[in-house]
Amino acid sequence: MRGVIGEVEEKLRAHEYKMTPKREHVLCVLLENKDKHLSAEEVYNLVKKKVPDVGLATVYRTLELFSNFDIIQSMDFGDGRKRYEFSTEDKDGHRHHHLICVKCGKIIEMNEDLLEDLEERVTDTYDFTITDHELKIFGKCRECALKMKKP
């Protein structure tokens, strides 16, 4: 975890920002929950357990700052709230995709790039250089689908 904190600190310093203790606490909460897609309110509640005097506005500003410098990425899974995760790109510069259960809200990460052929067609047909894409597929997870089948 120290290595990631150091990398983020360097990135902030390169843009003339400091890694304050409260920013570090927000970062630690994100690192401790990197398998989840936390909302700002969830991040705030987890940080508040460690630092009772942190304000919601501080958490929002920190998340926005981290997002601006591509430390984290924000996304909307259709529930009306931004959710955050660490920015992870593969060697081609693409991020993973998400399967979202419309019944229970479960989010499953998909690391396959299913859009390579489509990207080629778009590039060739429209002379458009694609730098990234995001795919969200909505449906029902296995557990919810099984519950629907039971009498």
Give the residue ranges of the annotated binding site for Fe cation: 116, 133
Which residues does residue 74 pair with via DSSP β-bridges, in sequence order? 84
Q: ∠95-97-100 over CA atoms, to 5°?
A: 150
Pairing of strands 82-86, 72-76: antiparallel
Which residues line the annotated binding site?
101, 104, 116, 133, 141, 144
Which residues line the annotated binding site for Zn(2+)?
101, 104, 141, 144
Q: Helix, strand or coil for residue 64?
A: helix
Is 82 within 8 Å of 75 (Cβ atoms)?
A: yes
Q: Which amino acid is at 73?
A: Q
